[in-house]
A and B are shown apart, each in its own frame.
Chain A
Amino acid sequence: MATTAIEQVYNYVADSQFTVAEGRARLLLQTSGGIASHPRLFEGWISHGRPGAASLLTLGRIARTRFYTPPAMVARIVAAADPIATADGENVRFEVFSPCNGVYARLDLGPSALDGAFFAVGTTNVDFGPHIRELLALVKDDGRIFLSMGPDDIAIATSGGEAVERRVRLPVRWIKGLAEVQVAQSRMELDMELDRGEAVSFLRSLPTVPSRGSIYLQRIADGLRISRSPEGTEVGGIERLRVLRDLASMATRLRIYRATSGDPATAWVLDLPGMRVHAVLSPDRARGFSGEGEVLGQLATHGDGAKQSAVGRLGYDLHEQRFFARELPFDLAKVEAEQPRLRAARRLVADRAVRFLANGEAVVRSSEVEHRVRWAEDGPHCTCPWFARYAGRRGPCKHVLAAELTRA
């Protein structure tokens, strides 16, 4: 039976802390896993405390919000995962995923926002509990915040805090989504740009209840308007963007990226003083990134480099249009093994269920029928219900994968 969840154990030497003493705000984020048990990554100042605190709060909110609850799901909600933090020697990035797997968000603190020392390059989980959220809400105006990521020896010795261990069941699909969203971003292009006033006005005008059917964004003279007719940029589950409203008034601009192919995943990048907040929305609020299947082709047939991104070892920076390295602090061995479509395709290959016809088509025997796979200009086609429903927009079906594995 396929594993549906893995138990993630967050092990912190103490609770994260936020203190304000003599007008100085200090944020000590405890770390767990990654390059070490409790890596110490960065220590220094974040200029522009208010946008920094508000951005972290927004990320925290996304990490705890289930934007979509399947009808059959009972009230018990998957526990929120802690944010992932990456330090690369120049930037500090915090990443989160909503429990429903449909919204990914990242805060990039760039060199102009950071004044301090990097102790290591790596990725880890950071403790971001309710106590921290409560205190971050009190950050005033735009003062600086002292940020410490990871314990130093002194901190461990003097904090007097007890080790904190928290177990969270993370669905495998949640972790798979972390890999999928990077591929989705790498296939996006800049679509529109709004100034602060337009961004505030647009985010205020978002519907409060989930919308049904497609929604399109149209650029008009005084900003953006939401349309129901298929002209403009398609956005699924647009109401999810309401989570960014509080940041808009501090932002200098909002950029909107859209997918160049496939279903309408969109990315929204808010530029704040010295930092950027990215929010990536899946094509529909009922669709998590994990099921998009964009990485399957890479896992099946490409080399090691492509596989790196497919298992989440690469993140993607839309602003810089490049991948960045990050080793996710999760047990990814299971994730790599738990791609149901790829597993099924390998089984078909092992069962010798694929044969090729003289016209180049493949015949794949599966579930007591023969599916035809053919390669057209717009990619491989299949006669199965998965392809009929998504036409390749959510990655290849198991029959296409099996045919490509056989052909490779």
Chain B
Amino acid sequence: MTVNFESALQDGDAEGVITGLAPLAESERRRLAPQAAQWLKELKANAISRATKPWPYRLDSQTLLRAARAMVVGTASLSELRKLGNWSTPDEDVALRVMADRRPDWLAEWAAFVLENETTSWHTPFLLVKRLITEGLLPRPATSWYPLSMIYGLQRRDRELYQALKADRGLLEDEVWRLFEVEGGGDTSLAAHDKYSADRNSWSWALLQLSGEGLLSRDRLLDASLAALQRDFAPFRAGWFSRFHESLQPTQAERLARKERYLGLVASAVPATASFAVKALRQAGPLSLEDVGQLAPALASSATGVVRDAVRLLPSSVRSAELAAEHLPHRSADIQSALLGLVEKHASQPSVRERLERARASVAPSLAARVATLLSLDAMVARTSQVRAEERAAPPPRRESSTSVPGPIDGIADLVELLAALLEEIQDPHDIERALDGVSRLCERTPDVVRRLEPIVKRAGKLLGDRAPARFDGHSPRSDIAGLIIAWATGTPPAAAETPHPLPRWLTGRSARPDPHQKSVLAFLSGRVREVAARAARGEAAPLLSLPTGRGGALEVDEFEARQRRLANAGRRPDPFDAIQARLRADGSDEGERYRFVYGATGEKHISFQLRVEPAMKVEPELTDVPALFYAAVDPAGPDYGGVAASGSTGLAEAIRWVGTVWPSNREPYYAKGALELGGNIDWWAARWELRCFLEPMLIPNEPLGEMATLLLSLGLGAKESGERGLATDVTIAAVAEGRLDVEKAGKTIGGLYNSKLLKGSRLATSLGDASRISQTHAESVSDLIEIALSGLYGPPPSDLHAPLALLNELSAARGHGVKRPTAKAYLTGIEGSGKTAALAKQLLAR
């Protein structure tokens, strides 16, 4: 019978295609392949563009595609099928019939390809491959994608997973067990499947049922789940196997029989697996002495729960005491205490004493007395304190004390490269100033200069063309630089008033108000760039007054006056914005004396941080009234100088850094704005990576830390985001070393914020503990700071007070005395109960 394949394809006649292909030799099939592939590609293109174009065929897409796919798999080579990808894979019935007729020698490879490329959580080729296997056309594929494709491959709305497995006993003999050998990834894993499935449709439930009915070996399930845990899977995926193992509720005898496996898992890199193994061992019964050594990895775990469980499991023996002494250097004093409990019973043994002696330098100060008793060292406490004091007296890491900055650009080649670099990324705001100053002085428009600018003009045009915020309007320093380059190179000055940049769609909530960037400090900076751009377009070179001479925007008064004289001698008047900026940097302003800041936190469950300026500003400041612009910004509805990222609703690090250099003699309103923003995002509701930049000027060695700086620093120390917290810790370390931190003020601020539940005790303890490690001075400052903070607390103790108290306890023990401040003592005396906090309060009061 001769079949007209073209008609069959156009009629969607899959049956006709299959029967027509059946008698054909391989060479005849191959001749039809190009036509088949072409037709499939055409259908695919039309199917993809259906949303915008009408479907050009009389029949529906499914009917046509079914026939086309039958034709393709019946004629194409393996490499052609690989190229065509998922679109060429037919349904099970078609695949089975075509492949049964064709029997290509690459069928196994094709099945592996399909399994690997088409296994997802919404569709898998498992049933297709399984039917090929059942019909004897294919051995079970070795690829891990075969069992993985089964995870979602048995799902049907009208049938539970359990029923599907029960209906095919072959699966219970082979495929099910292979699930314990493969990890999967993305959403294709047992863990991912069960996380988003109803209980009765989960793999865990199905396997438990089948085990209960005797259709799956319980022993084998117990062993297979443990073997899977030994395969070093990622934590999320390993978790399924430990949970499944426990859901089988192993008896003590079953656990004992698997003791070796559990012991092996104690060393797992996944803390949850190690914890599971230690708990399982506890249920298996007492640990024999010869197995004690295998608990070493658990004792070295960073997860305190794992160490605690392991300590409970260790029998009282010399070997246990040796191990405990070896692992004594742990961050947590609680863990050290538990380990010491094991050591104490065998401390007289030389091997234990030797290990204890080695570890004693790392023992928490609060435990030094116990160790001294064990080692029979009367002077132990004093010696330990002395050792620590000597260690801490070591000079802290050298800080860069210089406040100097790179000098002006002195050549056109360097200037072009600096401008090119600024178009890519702005790290240091001083580079913007150097670039501005460089363009201002070197902006001649010779043919060579214009040619040299060619590549960066192209780049600047691309930047502005990529929907980046517009130039010269307080949205983005990079856009301003791009505008400056274009004006200089093309000789076209910026328009007198650029069309306001339309707000991006994500800002529609704010679109009813005027663009908040139009009257901001950043817009003032944009104005400075615009001034230079206008002159550069005219090729009119002149020096700038405002180039900083020190870090953070500082400008020496002598240098400022010298620049003014030079300009006057040259018969030039300074550009207006440049003059404002230079005067603010050199002379400052007394505008700040008119205002004060008020802050606090409200709410019980959802704590809200608020900060405002008093008296409230009634009139929107002009762009030239820069100090007023700073104060106006300390209002959520005020002008925002954080810039606008082109790709999202966040601000720009470079904008915040640059604004920080505008009024260097009084950064209090700048820090207030930082506190407002960071305090409102202290639990990292939004990924505002730029906010940490507000803390950076505090690292300048001579930067004063006023009320708002201290507030921002305190909020930083309790921030959730590790970068903000880390930078605040660095500032604390630097400020203590340089004598800039007012501990009294910081303690009161932190106490107030902690009392209002805005700050969390555990985060504070982490950052302050880190700062206290630097030197004896730092340890004392931190200790004082916590005591002052305690003095300001009132009401029931916060639930996480034990964290800062534990730190204070260790610092007090290291110094060899108790709490100094009567007000702090009074607060501690009022803490009642038997919990961790009360116990620490008692220890502190007893010292």
Q: Are B689 and A212 in contact (CB under 8 A)?
A: yes
- Across the interface, which residues of B come within 8 angstroms of A26, CB to CB? none
Q: Are A137 and B267 in contact (CB under 8 A)?
A: yes
Question: Which listed residue, B300, B459, B730, B773, touches A221 by the CB 8 Å rule?
Answer: B773
Nearest opposing residue in chain A for B728, CB measure: A228
* CB within 8 Å for A229 and B730 given contacts A141-B293, A220-B397: yes
**Per-residue A-contact encoding for B759-778, CB less than 8 Å = 1, 0 else:** 00000000000100111000
Q: Are A211 and B424 in contact (CB under 8 A)?
A: no
- Across the interface, which residues of B come within 8 angstroms of A226, CB to CB? 726
Q: Are B260 and A371 in contact (CB under 8 A)?
A: no
Question: Which listed residue, A76, A212, A389, touches B424 by the CB 8 Å rule?
Answer: A389
A228 vs B331: C-alpha distance when bound (angstroms): 21
Q: Are A141 and B230 in contact (CB under 8 A)?
A: no
Nearest opposing residue in chain A for B771, CB measure: A225
Q: Which stretch in B415-423, B585-593, B746-754, B815-823 binds the other chain?
A: B415-423
Q: Are B227 and A249 in contact (CB under 8 A)?
A: no
For residue A29, CB closer than 8 A to chain B, the reply is no
Question: Counting chain B CB atoms within 10 Å of each CB, which of A54, A204, A385 scores highest?
Answer: A385
- Interchain pairs with CB closer than 8 A, number: 153
Question: Which listed residue, B232, B423, B699, B775, touches A61 by the CB 8 Å rule?
Answer: B232
**Per-residue B-contact encoding for A187-221, CB less than 8 Å = 1, 0 else:** 00000000001001100110101011101001111
> How many residues does chain B have at the interface if contact means C-beta atoms less than 8 Å apart?
67
Q: Are B454 and A389 in contact (CB under 8 A)?
A: no
Q: Are B451 and A134 in contact (CB under 8 A)?
A: no
- Across the interface, which residues of B come within 8 angstroms of A374, CB to CB? 413
Q: Are A372 and B424 in contact (CB under 8 A)?
A: no
- Across the interface, which residues of B come within 8 angstroms of A369, CB to CB? 454-455, 458
Question: Which listed residue, B187, B269, B773, touches A220 by the CB 8 Å rule?
Answer: B773
* CB within 8 Å for A371 and B293 given contacts A75-B187, A134-B230, A137-B268: no
- Least distance between A136 CB and chain B CB atoms (Å): 9
Q: Are B269 and A385 in contact (CB under 8 A)?
A: no
Nearest opposing residue in chain A for B421, CB measure: A388
For residue A227, CB closer than 8 A to chain B, the reply is yes
Per DSSP, chain A at the interface is mixed
Interface size class of A (residues with CB under 8 A): 35 or more
Q: Are A249 and B424 in contact (CB under 8 A)?
A: no
**Per-residue B-contact encoding for A46-79, CB less than 8 Å = 1, 0 else:** 0000000010010011000000000000111100
- Across the interface, which residues of A come within 8 angstroms of B689, CB to CB? 212-213
Within 8 A of B (CB), among A341-357: none
Q: Are B455 and A384 in contact (CB under 8 A)?
A: yes
Q: Are A220 and B774 in contact (CB under 8 A)?
A: yes
- Least distance between B170 CB and chain A CB atoms (Å): 22
Nearest opposing residue in chain A for B120, CB measure: A75
- Least distance between B736 CB and chain A CB atoms (Å): 13
Q: Are B451 and A370 in contact (CB under 8 A)?
A: yes
A138 vs B266: C-alpha distance when bound (angstroms): 10
- Least distance between B608 CB and chain A CB atoms (Å): 26
- Least distance between B361 CB and chain A CB atoms (Å): 8
* CB within 8 Å for A228 and B726 given contacts A246-B297, A249-B297, A370-B455: yes
Question: Counting chain B CB atoms within 10 Å of each CB, which of A133, A212, A228, A369 scores highest?
Answer: A228
Q: Are A137 and B294 in contact (CB under 8 A)?
A: no
For residue A272, CB closer than 8 A to chain B, the reply is no
For residue B845, CB closer than 8 A to chain A, the reply is no
Question: Which listed residue, A207, A221, A368, A383, touches B391 by the CB 8 Å rule?
Answer: A221
- Across the interface, which residues of B come within 8 angstroms of A74, CB to CB? 186
Question: Counting chain A CB atoms within 10 Å of each CB, which of B263, B265, B302 scores highest?
Answer: B302
For residue A381, CB closer than 8 A to chain B, the reply is yes
- Across the interface, which residues of B come within 8 angstroms of A133, CB to CB? 230-232
Q: List 16 additional contacts besides A225-B770, A228-B727, A369-B455; criterion CB under 8 Å.
A: A54-B267, A133-B232, A141-B293, A200-B300, A204-B302, A220-B397, A221-B394, A225-B774, A229-B731, A231-B399, A372-B452, A383-B452, A383-B456, A385-B423, A388-B420, A389-B421
B residues contacting A by CB (< 8 A) are 181, 183, 185-188, 227, 230-232, 260-261, 263-265, 267-269, 293-294, 296-297, 300, 302, 327, 329, 331, 359, 362, 391-392, 394, 396-400, 413, 416-417, 420-421, 423-425, 451-452, 454-456, 458-459, 689, 692, 699, 722-723, 726-727, 729-731, 734, 770, 773-775
